[in-house]
Structure 1
Amino acid sequence: MHHSDPYHLPLLTLEESSKFLQKKVFQKECCPSELFDVSQAVAEKCEGLPLVVILVAGVTRKKKMEASWWIEVEHALFSYLGKYEEYYLGTMQLSYDNLPDLTRPCLVYMGMFPKDHEIPIHKLIRLWIAEGFVQHVESVRLEEVAEDYLTDLINSNLVMVSKRWYNGKVKYCQDALVGLITGKSFNQELRSVISSGITYLDAHDWVDVLSRRCPNLEEFCICIRPSGGRTCNLELQGFTQLQTLEISSYAVLPGFQLPSTLKKLILQMPLITTETVSMIAELPSLEYLKLEKSEFESEQWCFGEIVFNKLKILKLTSLDISTWDASEESFPQLEILVISWCWKLKEVPPSFADILTLKQIKLIQCKNESLEASTLQIKEEIKANEGSDRLKIINKVSSNQTRIDVFEYLRASNLQTYVQYRIHRKVDSPAALSTGIILPFNAFSSVWTSTLIKLWESIVEPVQFLRGVNEKRKEIKGKCAC
């Protein structure tokens, strides 16, 4: 195997260091003549190390036109470099100590990411905000303030840009002070090492710790597993900035409390009581609610006087309910209703025709024909009362469900003289079959029975099945013509 000795990069000469430093500090401008000598003195202190030159430039750039600041940096370099065995660590410490108090914890927090890891900017900014590092500024979004912090760190050469978007904005970054920052993140308890895999924590402990460590948390996802018959009292009021919450619980949550700031809630739990629904309805800012894979106290879901004042989107998925009783006053601002896999549900409450903000009802994998009929009835009533088509009805069914429906229909038809099956739902099928299938049988009923069974056993996708039916139809039609 061919081997070559590594090439050792030479150190910068004094002239190269001076030019490099001036270029990093003054960018496209020329170094003023009155600062030339002091800038060369600072460059000499960099010992020809490019990284040290870059870091010193980041410190000096803040007051680049003040000779007194250059002199102060030169003296600071001499002081810091005498305390550190590693030359560059002294320069890093100098750069770190000259950071504003607001941006220093943001830089230290970057030590939680692995070495040489490209950090997504959107993720980093959200973490800074959740940790409470970003100061509130009147009439300015927290994200914009955080972006200013990042710009300061980049201009100080403490954070390196890895990738940019097409418009020039930073997409990924890396911290330049890996060794120093990693140590400080441990010392300031901003980072910890997890030596094992997933750790299960007691709900009381982690909720309390997390609410104190991340008071500005905006999005949170919780999965709670059964704990030997114990109940879990989930109290989340401490998260005063929480806007999105997803709870997937396999245990009973008898008395959980939610923060009033929630705008979006996704809830999955063994039992949803009337008290739970009432408590959710009292959230003053809730706009999005999804209830999934849950059971109620009975198959009849009665709202009574419960009102969701600001709810705009309601999604019901795999709920064990057959009857839903609610008035238009229960959802005065509702815009979108999505019902998925609720096979028992018979109808959408007729009163939904009186919800003036309702724009769309979407049904996904709902087999009950009366449910679809009720949505169409609501649409017709709105059109009759208002003369408008503001309500859009969407009924989606998967390819597998289409295949099952076709087979069940053909079986139910008893293979009479003519069997007509019209596909009302859009499926990925040949254009010739998109409007309807007419299957003539006459004397070939027994042949069709065995053929259908064989087709049913061999099909993988409904398109294959439909194509097979069409080919057999043509074959039989040809025999009849003869």
Structure 2
Amino acid sequence: MNVVETCGKGTLLIPGSSVQRSFSSIDEEVVGFEKDAESIMQKLTRGTKKLDVISIFGMPGIGKTTLARKVYNIPSIVNHFDVKVWCSVSQEYDRRTLLGEILKQTTCKSEIIEADDRPDMLRRSLIGKRYLIVLDDIWDVKAWEDLDLCFPKGENGSRVMVTTRIEQVAKHLQHHSNPYPLRFLTRAESWELLLKKVFREETCPPSLLGATLQVAQHCKGLPLAIVLVAGRIIGEKDREASRLWLEVANDLSSYVLGEQSMKVIQSSYDHLEGHLKSCLLYMALFPEDHEILVSNLLKLWMAEEFVLNVDTENMEEASRICLNDLLNRSLVMVSKRSANGDTKYCILHDVVREFCLRKLTEDKYMQLTVPYNPYQHLCSTESRVCIYIHDDLVKQLDHSGYQLDKIPMLESNEIQCFGECPMSSLEFIAHPRFNTWNRSNPLPLLVKLRLVRVLHFPLAKLPSSWPSAVQSITHLRYLEIYVQEFDFKWISHLLDLQTLVVRSSNSLRTSLAAIWKMTKLRHLDIYNLSLIWDDNDRATFEDSSTTMLENLKTFRAHVIRVADRTPRFWWRFPNIEELRCFHIIDLPSFSLFPSVEVHTRLQSLNLVISPQGFWDSVGWESNFVFPSNLRHLCIGGCFMTEEMVLNIARLKKLESLTLEGGFHWEEIEHHCWDVTNVNFPALKYLALHFMRMEEWKASEESFPVLEKLVIRECHYFKEIPISFADIPTLRHIELFECTDSLVASAVNIKNEIEANTGCDSLRVRKLYGDGILKNKERDATGFLIKRR
């Protein structure tokens, strides 16, 4: 623990020294935090008069301490508080020492105070004073709990400012103000900081402008990386040599992760539990700047058995908890969120990724892990030695004739370092995005890696011999392939398979008969496959004991025929949570869910009828009866009738609804979607895509908690009901390729809300194309327009 800073107003106490100096003399470059500093200052000086905690959180090296120090030293802040204290808490701290140091700064006394007297003396020294106490780098809420009772709860505007890399700690400490997440620097801010650090008061030579900008861009907005790179360049004799800057730009990672940066990331890494270390190292094997789809990542973690001490029913939930832990510790970043706010894509910052790759390289890509095993006692600590499949391993396998015991990195002395495991127990962890996997024929390699758990071939079209190669890979938990032909019977021996994803450029037909053997299957995604219901299926289906997939959580089919299937087909997946069926053809004469209470765990349903089946859906709307616990629903390609709308409104837990096409056909000249007397009590997200209706009526009670409305290419109706201005929770309206009249109605709603509430709480966006737009401008109506 290191305690620095002030004793009273306007002075700086240097540890180990009696010298004091004014704040204005502190030599510290601060760039890009002007708006952040202004926001923090307002939290410190305005708002509630009660004691408040201002928490700043973010990944290591992003500038939390720099921002806090910048605000702490601003003259207006210095003069606002009677007492100011700065303490660096860090991961390891001693309560007695921490209290003593805070007390020393509070009272300006250096005498030794008995440990038992410190809490009461600190509290009495702060009573009646407006104080600001900064607790820098808190790792655990216990540090706060050790101090909380020492801080008087008066109403004179006292504040505690906290920096932490762990989001959950920031949320736990919240009093009145929300935790403040710190962003990355922009490219311009990164460039400015780099030039200030390297050239100080001098001007950057014009000949280096391009090279310096390139270096700044490679630092990815991380202040720590910029500072370390600047230090590397300043240490060179000729810092103005173009050769030096280009060299740094071309091989930046070797300089970014200097000794200081390594220690910063290492401290967070050491604080992780063992299974979280495995999860983090695994993510580093994705390509640089790769946005990782969370739903796939969680399945990969499960397949590699990184998820510990949970029963099979809750593996997905446990995996998401692992991801949230890494997000909370700011080691993993959110890249994109879904409509309901869940993390959809995540990404590793280059500095964290480089650290992880170095850790793997130091350990020669080996790792001692504790596996998940559903048949193992939960308290078991049995270990296994794993090796990651990487480029170096594949090259050595090629050179050694695919003999594992001939590989230098797998010599006996290396194995002994990892628990004295014999070679036969060495297990493999597949590379999630692996270039060598995508070579013309990776099958010879697979024959030698029989203990691999994941095969991930989303891009490389496998040769027709792939089924024979997979016969020996009996430990597979995750299989994603791109093939010309497929049949479930080719993989029915994979009894431990949890996730199956099959893609093809051809329209394939396959029987479901063999799938019933794969009782551990949890996620099934099939693209361009038409499922066949043949006599073998029917014969097997009669025996209910062998046709239940109780572990199946998600079922996705691109082309599916359901007309000749028994209504009880879906009953064979009693615990399914997500069902997506695109291009449903040959509609049956019965409901897909004849008993809505069978699928009480179904939360997400996506049903889209194919164009050739659209007209067959006339009169089928009465069969759209849904399981009662649905939270997310998408219906497309069918006529939307009043009866169907009422069936949807009966879903009291429904949070998001997407409607695609429907409402109108040639026999009806004018169709109005009237939900004036219909209530969607929990709906937060509503999307209307390509809807063929001429009028829309709604009341403020129709969507009482709606937060976001999305309309895409709806050219028939002219306006959004003005009652949307009375929805207090509405925050976003997005319009994709919509008419000017729809845009005008959205603007009217925005203006109405501002006139009634005085708040600019609604954001209206008009987008063209696919929504991935570059230039921003404001049109005559004053709201944001994005253009490609």
Q: Give the TM-score taking structure 2 as reference length.
A: 0.30
Q: Give the TM-score taking structure 1 as reference length.
A: 0.48
User: Going by fraction, where is strand more abundant, 1 or 2?
Assistant: 2
Greater RCO, 1 or 2 (C-alpha within 8 Å, sep 6+): 1
